[in-house]
A and B are shown apart, each in its own frame.
Chain A
């Protein structure tokens, strides 16, 4: 997985480069939006990590141009500003995620992985989280390379959680995923299926309960 870092601060760029490389990514770094635009036009990347505060053309302008040219490349914006307006701008302009400085390197890696996974699931039928592989087309799960027997509803819950790995998925959403329009299920049903999934997945994947909100599936690599 190849990542382009667009950041003008040497110290930050170097840390990102090393950190993401250690997390298993192939990383390239450029210091200006102009250089980045040229590189993105010719080379293939899976993700761009873009700082907003770039000299001359800023990061938001780069994202805007990228989307304007029809690129669907996932973009993680990094900024030293924390005002809401920036966040809204970034996401409105087509950035996929947003992080403020200072950041923790493992979190940057986790966000990158999640973004790439989400983008790929839109085009590919395969989704891999740690030792678990999901085939979205055939709706089957493999654990450590061996087929795992899951029911239709367990699959639906796992798929929902896997597509939003690292994020809290609300219980209501899981309930909607397993309840057909002719079925009346209580939120307790979600708990039942989640606990069955936990039993089947064992130590391979952790599904955390977030009291009052829902569940979160964690990427063991993060």
Chain B
């Protein structure tokens, strides 16, 4: 059991207590319902990561085991996850009783990203607080999220296909595997069919090929960018988000005792070409480029 504590109204609550309140067995997280009656409600979780602007300056730590972006970095929602949030909102436009929760792991700054999702229209935000900025294995992240999900009976979990900065693409599928539910990665299109209790997805394969299939609910889909256009927050949602508290669950000193892969060393990315940097004014560089390409008979 992962012992996560939740600091809520001043009184820390172990996440295990969340599980104790559960109404249903852990195997299969879908909820009980009146037999032969199609469901009209739906509980959606979107897992998001906060990432930095890719142009922010990086500093590698003295041990050369991790890098950080410093205090002036600007953070935002991982682009792929933002598409996942939008997709959840579009599902709720069709299934109006659907509820959308957001979850994210990280230090205090992560709340800004969660808040932004709520401003886009998500209902509730959960912050799995973890203050260390060093490498956190996706295996551990997926265990924390799976533990969080256990008692909460989500029908559908959405996330981005990967993060923009680390591009591992592991946390989503791993979370699904730990919950024992099906998943599909790199989803370009999805549709919930409540009558059939399934999720129809279209996965992007290589070179323009697609794969269509049905996943039994509950299911997880990690979405590709480009499947929708994320909306801007509306004024009414901004006002509502202002008055909705983000629930913080602390996982500071209680990560599972497992030794997954570690980052041993960070080094400058290797270079496989000459990398000549043109110098001078803009006009001089333009002239130099023309000359170089001309010499190669490309112009």
The answer to whether A binds B is no
